[in-house]
Amino acid sequence: MSEHMPTQQFLESLIQEAGSITLKFFQKNFSIQEKSDNQGIVTDADIASENFIKKKIHEKFKTHTILAEESGLEKFTQENSEKEQAIWIIDPLDGTTNFSKGNPYYCISIAFGHIVEGVFQAKLAGIYQPTTQSLFIAEKNKGTFLNKQKLFLNDLQNFKLASIATGFSSNKDKDLIQVVNTIGAIQNKSLGLRINGAAALDLALTAKGIFQGFYEIPLAPWDMAAGALIVTEAGGVVSNFAGKEFCPLRDKGIIAANKQIHPELLSLIQNYYSN
């Protein structure tokens, strides 16, 4: 195995084993802690999954940088962010609130790529829902696969028939005004809007065609990095809220959809978000 580029097989094994760890806690007794600044909760499963993923990466790729939700950055600083470097962006358990309530809508999300001139260029990504054994894998220029079957976004063109997913877990108080107004506008124009509580899994299911679009702001890099590549490699369009090229290390929001739906979804969102 190259010190510089992991294989799909390595990622598949890594993410499925992490998923098995979370299932040992799911719908059982475990401790829950509140994060600071009203940023949600963390459970024993989040920590155990992240520790396992980091350990396996460190064993094989000793020089790689890791950005993970619960432990933050390792070997990465703003001072060296302009230098090309290999980096993993990890959410060990996306949808922790769902998980804590026994809701099976959660996943593990892992992306690998390189930072080039300050921009993350994804090379390999995986999203795994342990409760359904749904494994989404994407590799740059090689497509997206769900349990080994290649995915292609559907070509629905009529926004009135589109199912759109979003979320707003960290939005509170006055920040909810934009959220509610945007939800109202999209709900009135589409078949319906869904709020599920796990952004990475929403992105994976957009690639599958369950949703015809997904958007959310603010999100963290680990919520978006893997899903962005999975949607793109399935033939979708991914942008930031300004409609520009998306980078999970720079952008706080993401809009993902098929090529026909994305322009109208972007237009509706920009009525309420100026940047």
CATH of the domain at 68: 3.30.540.10
Q: Are 122 and 231 members of one domain?
A: no
191 is in an annotated binding site: no
Average pLDDT over residues 94-101: 96
Residue 186 maps to a domain: yes
Q: 91 labelled as ligand-binding? A: yes
Confidence at residue 178, expressed as pLDDT on a 0 to 100 scale:
87
Question: Looking at the structure, do residues 118 and 145 belong to the same domain, yes or no?
Answer: yes
Digit-coded pLDDT (tens) for 214-258: 999 999 999 999 999 999 999 999 999 999 999 999 999 999 999
Any binding-site annotation on 202?
no
DSSP calls for 18-61:
HHHHHHHHTTS---EEEPGGG--EEEHHHHHHHHHHHHHHHHH-
pTM: 0.94
Residue 3 lies in a domain: no
Residues 140-196: tens digit of each pLDDT: 999 999 999 999 998 899 999 999 999 987 666 777 888 999 999 999 999 999 999
Mean pLDDT of 116-132: 96
pLDDT at 82 over 60: no
pLDDT at 1: 38
Query: What residue numbers bound the domain in which 36 lies?
Result: 8-150
Has residue 1 been placed in a domain? no
Q: How many domains are contained in the chain?
A: 2
Does one domain contain both 108 and 185?
A: no
Question: Which distant-in-sequence residues (6+ apart) come within 8 Å of 260 by Cβ?
Answer: 155, 156, 157
Q: Does residue 223 have a known ligand-binding role? A: yes
Co-location of 139 and 176 in the same domain = no
The mean pLDDT value for 77-92 works out to: 74
- CATH of residue 186: 3.40.190.80
**Is the same domain home to 145 and 163?**
no
94 is known to lie in a ligand binding site? yes
Per-residue pLDDT tens digits for 30-69:
888 886 565 678 999 999 999 999 999 999 998 899 999 8
Question: Are 29 and 85 within one domain?
Answer: yes
Average pLDDT over residues 269-274: 90
**Do residues 19 and 128 touch, judged by C-beta distance below 8 A?**
yes
Is 168 a member of any domain? yes
Same domain for 105 and 64: yes
The whole-number pLDDT of residue 77 equals: 46
Does one domain contain both 107 and 204? no
Q: Are residues 142 and 60 in the same domain?
A: yes
Whether residues 78 and 60 fall in one domain: yes
Residues 20 and 136 both lie in one domain = yes
Residue at 97 is within a domain: yes
pLDDT, position 154: 86
What's the pLDDT at 3? 57
pLDDT of residue 79: 45
One domain for residues 145 and 184: no
- Domain final position from 150, 172, 189: 150
Q: Domain for residue 237, yes or no?
A: yes
Identify whether 2 is part of a domain: no
In a domain, 91, yes or no: yes
Average pLDDT, the chain: 91
For residue 190, what pLDDT is reported? 98
